[in-house]
Each structure stands twice: as structure tokens, then as C-alpha cells.
């Protein structure tokens, strides 16, 4: 089965769908030299209209800045530069008639139809030192996903994966009291910690901040295979 990964960035979503059994083609307006799948640099809307019929299923992760908590808070002066692309991409996907998924951040909930929420703790995603990944993402699907694992938020350290300025060499260690600290006494995580938590070993810090953990789309992709292609 061939899946079209729109707004693919560095290929986190595509990796999960590949693990679920799909052949992936990624589309993004920007060059993506680290994307491990077949990649075509193009406008997602234009490519979908011209070639969407050639694929068995479509995934779309339109830019999330307009829905992001960070943009609405610290950088709300930038909101006018961003557009809500969820309705127009949905319109094209419905017209195409193929199984589809639209993914976005929690702030997009009112724009998505009956979305499924996934969290890193549902899949045991964490750093090697046990800091949990609580990266909530919403998935609108044209098919029934069904039951999902439960969030398993535990007491302890949590790793955030955002921004592009993480220092590759920055590490943390456990103090005698069990707290996670850098040499400056502040909890911190390097790029490798973020890679470990996301289950992604090929991306830069900036690419990780925009990525979907493959475990999420592997779960969604397997459900799509079961519901739509059997």
C-alpha cells in the first residue's frame, strides 16, 4: 500500500507508517535532506491535487504554529503570519475519497473532527534515564481507530522536545537525591536525549521539535491497515 505523507518534514510520521507496512512518499515545500523515505520537494496542496489519486492513503500534518500554545502565548504577535490549513486540506482529502489522517497539536482540537489523542507515555517513550515524553498529538481519521492505550503520566522528570537550540553535548546526571541536573544545577536534555525519547535517531534538534514520534503513526497505520485494507 502506498501512503502519501504531506508536510512530511524529516520523516517521523512516515517512519511509523513504514513500520505499519506502507510504502512512503514524503512531500514538503522545504528541502528535507535527512528524511529517510522517498521525498519530493513540492507544495503539498498542488501535489495532492495532481497526484493524490496515485496513492492508497494520505497523511497530512499541516503547519501547527497557529494552534501552538507557544505561538498564542510568547509569540502571539506572529499569529497573523500563519494560516489554518486544516479545513482546506480536509476538503481536498474528502473529495479524493481515500483513507486519510490529519495530525496536529492539542490547540487544534476545535478544528479537527473527533480526533484521537496520543501521548508518548502510551508507548513507553522516555529517555534512557527514565524521563517521560508527554507529547500529546491529535489525529483526525476517516476510519474508526477504536480504543487507545491509556496515558501513563508518572511522578518524575519529563522531557520536552521543542525549539531548535539544544546543545548536542548537553547532558544531565542524577544527583545523590535522585534529581536530574546539569553541572549548573538545572535540569536539561541534549539532542541525544530527545532522540532517545522520540524513538528517532536521524534528526537534528530543530527537526525533532517538529516531528511526530513514529510510535504514534505506527499505531494509527496498523489500525488503518486493519479497517481499510482487509
Domain ranges of the chain: 2-228
C-alpha separations of 122 from 51, 115, 129, 149 in Å: 35, 16, 18, 5
> H helices within the chain, ranges in order?
12-19, 44-51, 69-72, 86-96, 191-198, 205-209, 214-228
C-alpha separations of 176 from 55, 179, 181 in Å: 55, 7, 11
User: What is residue 131's predicted lDDT score, i.e. its pLDDT?
Assistant: 85
- Entry pTM: 0.85
User: What is residue 82's predicted lDDT score, i.e. its pLDDT?
Assistant: 56
User: What is residue 178's predicted lDDT score, i.e. its pLDDT?
Assistant: 52
User: What is residue 118's predicted lDDT score, i.e. its pLDDT?
Assistant: 98
User: What is residue 166's predicted lDDT score, i.e. its pLDDT?
Assistant: 44
User: What is residue 76's predicted lDDT score, i.e. its pLDDT?
Assistant: 47
User: What is residue 156's predicted lDDT score, i.e. its pLDDT?
Assistant: 80
User: What is residue 122's predicted lDDT score, i.e. its pLDDT?
Assistant: 97
CATH of domain 2-228: 3.40.50
User: What is residue 203's predicted lDDT score, i.e. its pLDDT?
Assistant: 96
**Tens-of-pLDDT digits for all 230 residues of the chain?**
999 999 999 999 999 999 999 999 999 999 999 999 999 999 999 999 999 999 999 999 998 655 444 444 443 444 445 588 999 999 999 999 999 999 999 989 999 999 999 999 999 999 888 889 999 999 999 999 999 999 999 888 788 787 544 444 445 555 555 555 555 445 567 788 889 999 999 999 899 999 999 999 999 999 999 999 98
CB 115 within 8 A of CB 138: yes
User: What is residue 193's predicted lDDT score, i.e. its pLDDT?
Assistant: 85
**What SS3 class is residue 206?**
helix
What is the C-alpha separation between 33 and 66, in angstroms, rounded? 26
User: What is residue 204's predicted lDDT score, i.e. its pLDDT?
Assistant: 92
**What SS3 class is residue 38?**
strand
What is the C-alpha separation between 75 and 15, in angstroms, rounded? 31
User: What is residue 157's predicted lDDT score, i.e. its pLDDT?
Assistant: 78
CB 41 within 8 A of CB 16: no
Amino acid at each position: 500500500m502506498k501512503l502519501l505523507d504531506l508536510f512530511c518534514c524529516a520523516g517521523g510520521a512516515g517512519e511509523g507508517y513504514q513500520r505499519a507496512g506502507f510504502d512512503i512518499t514524503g512531500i514538503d515545500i522545504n528541502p528535507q535532506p535527512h528524511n529517510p523515505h522517498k521525498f519530493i520537494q513540492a507544495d503539498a496542496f498542488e501535489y495532492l491535487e495532481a497526484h493524490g489519486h496515485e496513492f492508497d492513503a494520505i497523511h497530512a500534518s499541516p503547519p501547527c504554529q497557529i494552534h501552538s500554545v507557544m505561538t498564542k502565548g510568547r509569540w502571539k504577535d506572529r499569529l497573523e503570519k500563519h494560516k489554518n490549513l486544516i479545513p482546506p486540506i480536509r476538503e481536498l482529502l474528502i473529495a479524493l475519497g481515500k483513507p486519510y489522517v490529519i495530525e496536529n497539536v492539542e490547540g487544534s482540537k476545535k478544528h479537527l473532527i473527533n480526533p484521537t489523542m496520543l501521548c508518548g507515555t502510551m508507548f513507553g517513550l522516555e529517555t534512557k534515564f527514565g524521563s517521560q515524553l508527554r507529547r500529546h498529538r491529535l489525529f483526525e481519521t476517516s476510519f474508526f481507530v477504536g480504543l487507545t492505550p491509556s496515558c501513563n503520566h508518572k511522578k518524575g522528570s519529563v522531557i520536552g522536545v521543542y525549539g531548535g537550540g539544544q546543545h548536542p553535548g548537553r547532558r544531565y546526571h542524577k544527583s545523590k537525591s535522585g534529581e536530574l541536573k546539569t553541572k549548573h544545577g538545572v535540569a536539561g536534555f541534549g539532542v541525544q536525549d530527545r532522540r532517545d525519547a522520540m524513538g528517532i535517531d536521524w534528526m537534528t534538534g530543530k527537526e525533532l521539535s517538529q516531528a511526530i514520534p513514529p510510535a504514534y503513526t505506527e499505531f494509527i497505520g496498523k489500525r488503518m491497515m486493519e479497517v481499510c485494507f482487509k
